[in-house]
Amino acid sequence: MHGWTGKILRINLTNKKAVVQEFDANFAQTWLGGRGFAVKLLWDELKPGIDAFSPENRLILAAGPLTGASLPSSGKLVVAAKSPLTGGYGDGNVGTWACVNMRRAGYDAIVFEGKAEIPTVVKVEDDKTEFLNGEDYWGRGVFETEKDLKKKYGNVTGVVSIGKAGENKVKFANMISQEGRGGGRPGIGAVMGSKNLKAVAIKGTQELPAADMPELKKLGLEGYKEILAKPNYKFWKRQGTVSTVEWGQENSCLPTHNFREGVFAHADAIGGFAMEKLKVSNRGCPQCNMTCGNVITDTDNESVEVDYENIALLGSNIGLGDLKKVAHLNRMCDDYGLDTISMGNVIGFAMEASEKKLIEDRIEWGDFEKARELIERVAENKDETGRLLSQGVKYASQKLGKDSKNWAMHVKGLEISGYDCHATPGMALAFGTSLSGAHHKDAWVISWEVKYGRGNYDQTKVDKIIELQRLRTIFEALTTCRLPWVEVGFELEWYPRYLKAATGLTMTLEDLYPTADRIYNLARAFWVREFGQEWSSNMDMVPNRWFTDPLTKGPLKGAKLDKSKYEAMLQMYYNKRGWDNRGLPTRSTLSKLGLSDAAQELGQQVQLAA
Ligand code: PTT
Ligand code: SF4
């Protein structure tokens, strides 16, 4: 077997034992890596219904056969667990030297289980694993934690850590690395906190495994050159994802005032061109020549890396039209280890709840000081409102009642990423059917949809969403960054060539589709196993606001989604996926993907169609 190290490091935090588990070529080729490994391990090892914060939950760091190699943007790590926010499958993707080092240390994945007795830092250096007292770090922000660990163990050490939000089990706490890379939206940082695990520091010195290393290096170099030659490259380096603010405004999908509107009066002040005026440098993930992290200074003159999602949710969505202030909120979230997307949704929800007098606090739209306060109260679980909001908008709306359910912006409990969908049913369906809740990462169909036609609720759109979900799941499994392809048009054909040089396997992308489907279906089965009889197609519905409250501003004033057409499109989606009308995979779909055992297990809990 080439391309994979063939080893998973299993770390039990309760008894401080680390053992190496080997896997064979069949496992590697069936699940590929990253998200594939995570889904399979969580399915096999978790009993349904466990508390996500119990020691039985697994915290998985997983890479794929391309991770860490000298090829474009390969420094990505999948982090996964049963989500405390949604109760279903949860993962995220962090750009970090930790994944490169993990592979160089000889592991494709690290699986944590149990719970450390005291706050702990786990240090992995090649074949040596140490459990270090982390009490000094507990209560400290991620910036200080990572800086200190690097000072102690060397700058080349890769570190992922949690901040106070993860320690306090805020349900949308994530993991942070390199001062500006964050991943694990569905509370993967909170799972880490529940295990008393403050940070993981990894150093590896071995050569990566590859079937043909000279060829992989040669192709990698060609890939980097190809990216540099792409017409959009220069503009991408200037603005990265931030130019999406202007694009969203032009296309009426920039989330504004808790997703009431798709246009924001101060969009120009928080967009790509405004950002360029404040920009001090570019940062990026390992092995990347697209370095899209734009660093600006905030209200305290501190450096902050800003991305589109952070700006959309902590800016327009809460009515804040000042980029330095947005950057300040972003920096607070990073240091606390809070997902910016969920936090922006939570603040927007609180502002609307305040306006409607559902909470006692008075929090006006755009109030920077109150937003700052709220972040602190949530991250530190400070008071009743802080504790309520730290559970996410779904829970908060259940507690507050009245009509708040209609404007609690989430799917399956995960808050919506930065795209208003009053006029984009395809993107709404992408949120509805994403693997982890309302995440854009599985099918960012919106840019295609505005060209194809917003008004259509048709099979072509459904097919496009499934195609994107397949391709993006392949990126999560390989595991590399998808942005070279999505943003500068680096051709997909490069990836089978990389895969061949790394593993020796000759496969087209289409050959990998069944693998992507296997991963997607097993993750779906995981959700259904957790929810059992409660599961219905309602789980894939998007917030009512988009069906009932039309846009009142911008060129698409009056637009809203049509509920019965959305439901019909959802059925088209199920049909194409081989799922029944409740959204459950059928027995034959599962068995065609080699998942007969999963069908048998699931069938004992819910009735599966043949
Ligand atoms: C991702 C989500 C995103 S998606 C953003 S900005 W984006 C937010 N970033 C956060 C942050 O920063 N700090 C923070 N405290 N919370 C944050 N939450 C939000 O998390 C990121 C890039 C981006 S920037 C995107 S789209 C792409 N995502 C990829 C992906 O998912 N898979 C993949 N194979 N490649 C990807 N490339 C791009 O990576 P989640 P990063 Mg992120 C500061 O994890 O949970 O999936 O949520 O990883 O290293 O920061 O790179 O406009
Ligand atoms: Fe990281 Fe951006 Fe490069 Fe992707 S394109 S690897 S997100 S710096």
Q: Is the dihedral of CA 395, 315, 181, 109 positive or negative?
A: positive
Q: How far apart are CA 136 and CA 96, in angstroms?
A: 23
Sort residue 319 into left (φ over 0), alpha (ψ -120 to 50) or beta: left
Distance 479 CA to ligand 1 centre (A): 14
Q: Are 258 and 264 in contact (CB under 8 A)?
A: no
To the nearest whole number, what is the mean pLDDT of the chain? 97
Q: For position 502, what pLDDT does the model report?
A: 98
Report residue 267 as tokens.
Answer: 């969009």
- Asked if residue 76 has its Cβ within 6 Å of ligand 1, the reply is yes
Report the pLDDT averaged over residues 435-453. 97
- Asked if residue 166 has its Cβ within 6 Å of ligand 1, the reply is no
- Asked if residue 284 has its Cβ within 6 Å of ligand 2, the reply is yes
- Asked if residue 227 has its Cβ within 6 Å of ligand 2, the reply is no
Q: For position 320, what pLDDT does the model report?
A: 98
Residues ≥6 apart with Cβ < 8 Å to 244: 272, 308, 312, 418
Q: For position 580, what pLDDT does the model report?
A: 97
Report the pLDDT averaged over residues 316-322. 98
Name the one residue in this structure whose structure tokens are 């982390």. 134
CA angle, residues 98, 67, 16, in degrees to nearest 5: 40
Q: How far apart are CA 136 and CA 154, in angstroms?
A: 19
Distance 160 CA to ligand 1 centre (A): 14
Report the pLDDT averaged over residues 415-435. 98
Q: Report the Cα 187 to chain-centroid distance in Å.
A: 10
Distance 483 CA to ligand 2 centre (A): 7
- Asked if residue 331 has its Cβ within 6 Å of ligand 1, the reply is no
Report the pLDDT averaged over residues 466-482. 98
| pLDDT bucket at 177, cuts 50 / 70 / 90 | very high
Q: For position 128, what pLDDT does the model report?
A: 98
Report the pLDDT averaged over residues 112-132. 98
93: closest CA among 202, 197, 188? Answer: 188
Report the pLDDT averaged over residues 251-278. 98
Report the pLDDT averaged over residues 353-363. 95
- Asked if residue 292 has its Cβ within 6 Å of ligand 2, the reply is yes
pLDDT in tens, 502-544: 999 999 999 999 999 999 999 999 999 999 999 999 999 999 9
What is the atom index within ligand 1 of the atom nearest the CA of 482?
Answer: 35
462: closest CA among 557, 573, 565? Answer: 573
Report residue 263 as tokens.
Answer: 């246009």
| Helix (DSSP H) and strand (DSSP E) numbers for the chain | 27, 17
In DSSP terms, 94 is beta-bridged to 77
Q: For position 396, what pLDDT does the model report?
A: 98
Name the one residue in this structure whose structure tokens are 């502002």. 351
Q: Which ligand is nearest to the CA of 99?
A: 1
Give the phi and the psi of residue 92 in degrees, each rounded to 5: -155, 175
Q: Which ligand is nearest to the CA of 79?
A: 1
Q: For position 489, what pLDDT does the model report?
A: 96
518: closest CA among 26, 36, 27, 34? Answer: 36
pLDDT in tens, 544-558: 999 999 999 999 999
462: closest CA among 477, 472, 452? Answer: 452
Quote the percentage of the chain above a pLDDT of 90.
100
